[in-house]
Every structure is written in structure tokens, then in C-alpha cells.
Structure 1
């Protein structure tokens, strides 16, 4: 652990221009967003998943000045999600290239991410028909509840987007409150300030959900709990001033921590949470957290290598001890785009 998060002031860094959607376009057909690629080439045999399409809807609808091409992507992703949703609000996750669902509707993490995408679209989309259709699908999905804290955290991010745009939306407020209860509160042990004994993936989303619940529902203790969780999470993932995020294997309390196979999704979740905390508190630590997340993609990481391909606009799939995994799938590209969307100070 290092105390860099609390002692390092924000530093100017070379920040790329606005994120490129070129590779997202390359990965998208008239049905949805393909999950995997070999280098920059789509692997159609792996089909599509709601998880990635929902994140695609998030990044396309939170663009402040979307191009016509980005709006077309948003419409396509929204159509996929409404097709994936059943009459009770649950969602399929996996669709084969032959357009056949490979699973039954459920309330796993993909349900939470679908609500995140739909809530963002309902609140932020620049065209009314996207907002209206997204709100209908969100309203149906928000009647459900998942027993998984991470699924509820993702759903809370969508509920918070909607509640910012419509403070009187009781359904969004109730979902946000229920998610905060499901996530729990920080452990009193300063060496493990997390509600659960295992850190898995996109961990910062849980802290962000509490921060949003505390702010939007006017609950200072919940806000403080989320900020404490995020402070600890940022501190344990800093090494000599740069991010060294948890690997895909996660980290079990009381066991050695591994450092290989770092995933861009972890950086993107941290960037989102820090941007939210910065907007609420204006704390330097959070502005620096956004800078550090961007810098990780630019090469300020454990091996000093960029985690994106400027020629394609794609994000690399993972950071190994030997360097980047050069495949450019949907999840990593979406993580890159969402991180670069954040303004920096």
C-alpha cells in the first residue's frame, strides 16, 4: 500500500483528443456489438452479450456532442437491449451470431448493466425517441431486484443517472436505496476497508453506487462510507504514483495479491468512481484518480506500455507481465472510451 493518493497533487499529462468510436463501429453490426476480436478483427463465432451492449449504450449516450454515427450506435444498442428484456424485466445475456439466445433471462450482472445503460440513455440521450424508449425499458427492469451486490451496484448507476435528470422519480430512488443496502458498508479494519472478503472486478462501481446514493438521497453516512471505500481502493492500487490495478483473478482477503493480467474494466470503473467523487467533493485525490486512470492507458502502468492502438481506436484486452494482450475486444475498447470521456482539471 502507498499513501500517494493522499499526498500527490494533480499533475498535467498529455491527454489524447476526444475518444475515438472507430473500433466500436468496427465491432458493431446491424444486430449488436460483438464481444471479442483477434487483434482488431471481429470474432463473429463468439456472438454478442448484453453486458457489452449495455456499456456501449452508456458511452454513446453520455457523449455531449454525438455524431450521427454515434447516435446510430446508440439506437442499435438500445434495440438490442429491448429485445433482450423479457416481460418481467429480466434480460438474456448471450446471443449467438445466428441470432438465437443461448441462455434464459436472468438478474445477473448483465441485468444491472442493462439498467445502467437504459438509465443513462433515458437521462442523457440527445434525441427524444431514445430517451423515451430507454425509460420504458428501465421502468420495467427496475421492478426487479438481484441478490448480487455487484448487479445491484450497476443498476444503481443507471438509477442515479435517471434521478439526477428527474429528482422526483421514486422508482429510481427506491432502486438506488435498495442497492446501497445490498452493497453493505466498509469493514472497520483499516487494512481491509471493504464490505466483502473478496475483491473481484469493477470493484469501484460498488463504492460509486454508495457515493451516489449518499449524495442523491441526502444520506451523509452512506456518502462517507462510499468515499472511504473508494479512498482505500485507490490507495491499494497505486504503486509509485501509477495505477497497478487488481488482476482478473481478484484478491481474497488474507492471501497474497497477484499483479498480472490487469483488465481495462478495472481502470474504467475507478475512473468513473473518481469522476463522480470529484464532481461531488471537488477533492484533489479524485481529480488525480481520473488522471491516473487515463495515464494507465497511455502507458503509465506496471510495464510502461500503452494499452490502446491509435491506429484502430481499440483498447487492448489486458496487461500481462510481458506487456499488452493485443486483442481489441468490446469490453477493453469500451473501458478506453469511457475513461477518455471524463474531463480533466
Structure 2
């Protein structure tokens, strides 16, 4: 089987000099859907993680950073949707796209290979770090960006305050060991909630908080594993004591698990978490409920979802970035 390494072909195909297109029909960009801050921020995360980026990837970092700073207003909020005509379709807000933007900016500020990108990203991060969202996942995503900043600049008070508030937003674990999740349902990017607790506990030295995040992640991995493979909660979600659909599974769920398990391995030094990262990579290689390869070796794109009939062959930005992100972790495994 063809091995995925650092394949950015499709991400480059989805990008132009403005940003990153959201959707594709198979591998063909659907320009009429335009761009969104959510996906541009995800793109900035993965390209900033590359320790030795090519000239093309450096150009993507520059493009994505420019998009995010254009989307940000003076209050630190962000617009989300830009049409192909370069007109914004919405007003600045603090939804999930704000959290994603803060995650992208925090990652670029801490890890990007270009010093000027790190500096500009940190400035934009600081401009948004004083805001707070009423949306739980927005706070979790922003907290992960704050954690990136703190790993590079431990004395950043604004990042520390944002990470603390993000962890508090997750809330307390339920008392029922069969459902310790702090909410009565699982929706999307669930592992990000556990990851922000792990990051906050690790960086603050709060062992109780770290252990709580690890317990939630252990449970989340367990309930999403079937026959040794990841079988993640589908787009319909899963409510406690309710029925759970098997499909349509999304790559973002697998990528969120890979991110969180890699963070757990870093925080604890426990190599068993790396087995979960391998399980996540395996999902893309066909170790899933449909025994289906979840990426296209010809284009380098990630398939948009796993249905009961096999992969959704469209290769949009979110799924392609989920693939790249997971394989970034997998390639560092011993």
C-alpha cells in the first residue's frame, strides 16, 4: 500500500493567493463555496508544524496568516466566510472559527519556521486573546492555541489566562464512570476538550487537572474503539443512553484523537498513548468499519467521510487537513 508521508499536493491544489477553498468535488475545487476562516486556521496549524518546510509551504503559511489577519477586526473577533468574489459573507464573531483562528495563530507563533511569521502571528494572537466565547469548542480550540504559545513563551500572561479559562469552560466530569464526559452528548472534535485539560494541567503543574483530562481521553478512546479499530462518533453525534449511528464518520474526529493522544504522550511520557496515534493513522489506511482507504494516493487528498457504502470521495479542506495532521504525528512514532 502507498504510504502517506508529508503529502501537501492537495492542500496546495485547494489554495490560491487569497486563502484555502473549503470544498471540492472529488479533487476539483468548488470555488463558488469560497473560503472560511475555520479551514484556513486548520491549514496554518499543519504547515506551521513542519520543521523544514519547502518554499511552497512557506508561501502557504504567509497566505494563511494574511487571510486570518484580514479576517480579524479591531476587537479580536473574526469573520468566517469569504466569497470567491472576495466579499465577506458575515460579521466578526466568536464562534468556533474564532477558536480555530486562535489555535492557528498560536501554533504559528510558536512553531513556524519563519521568524517574521512567528512575530506577526503572536501579535494577532494577542489581539484576540482577551476575548472569550460562549461556545465550548471555540474555547477549547483557542485554549490549544494558547498552550502552543505557552510552550514557546512560558511567561505569556494572556496565553496562560486564556488556557485557564478554556479548561474551566470544559466543566467538571460526570460522576457516572460509564459516562464521565462533562456533557450528556458527544458531537464533533470531542477529543479537543480532553486535550485542553491535558495541556492546561501539564503546563500549570496541576496534576489533578492533567489526570482528569487523561481519564476523559482514555474513556473517549475506549468508546470509539471496536475490534481494535477506531469507530468514531458520526456526524449525528451520540447522546447518553441514546442510539448511536455507525456512519457517517468524519476524519476530523480521528485527527482530534491523534492530536490529543500525542499531547498525552508528551505530557506523561507514557508510550501507550502512541498506540492510539497508530490506531488513528490506521483508520486512514483502512483499519476502519468499512475496511476502506480514506485518502486518495493519486491526489494526496483526504476523503470527506466514511459512509455505509464506503468513502465519500470528495476531498475538501477539513478532511485533507485531518489526514495531514494525523500523519504528522504518525511519522514521528518509533
Please indicate, yes or no, whether the TM-score normalized by the shorter chain is above 0.5: yes
CA shift digits 1:141-178 (9 cap, x unpaired): 10100111110000011000000000000110010001
How far did 1:18 drift? 2.2
Matches of 2:105 and 2:79, distance apart in 1: 15
Structure 2 match to 1:307 = 294
Q: 2:19 aligns with which of 32, 47, 72?
A: 32
Question: Is 1:250 matched with 2:245?
Answer: no
Question: Is 1:297 matched with 2:277?
Answer: no
User: Which segments of 5 or more consecutive residues in structure 2 lack a partner in the other structure?
Assistant: none
Matches of 1:64 and 1:121, distance apart in 2: 12
How far did 1:281 drift? 1.4
Structure 1 match to 2:252 = 265
Question: Is 1:224 matched with 2:219?
Answer: no
Matches of 2:170 and 2:197, distance apart in 1: 8
Runs of 4+ in 1 over 6 A off after TM superposition: none
CA shift digits 1:215-235 (9 cap, x unpaired): 001111110110011000000
Matches of 1:58 and 1:190, distance apart in 2: 34
How far did 1:17 drift? 4.7
Matches of 2:31 and 2:2, distance apart in 1: 33
Native 8 Å contact 2:71 2:80 kept in 1: yes
CA shift digits 1:228-282 (9 cap, x unpaired): 1100000000001000000011111120111110000000000000000011112
Matches within 5 A, 1:121-132: 121-132=108-119
**What is the RMSD computed on CA atoms of the aligned residues?**
1.0
Structure 2 match to 1:344 = 333
Matches of 1:332 and 1:186, distance apart in 2: 30
Q: TM-score, normalised by structure 2?
A: 0.98
How far did 1:15 drift? 8.9
Native 8 Å contact 1:15 1:294 kept in 2: no
Structure 1 match to 2:144 = 157
Structure 1 match to 2:180 = 193
Q: TM-score, normalised by structure 1?
A: 0.95
Matches of 2:183 and 2:6, distance apart in 1: 34
User: Which segments of 5 or more consecutive residues in structure 1 lack a partner in the other structure?
Assistant: 1-13
Size of the aligned set, in residue pairs, is 332
Matches within 5 A, 1:171-190: 171-190=158-177
Native 8 Å contact 2:2 2:297 kept in 1: no
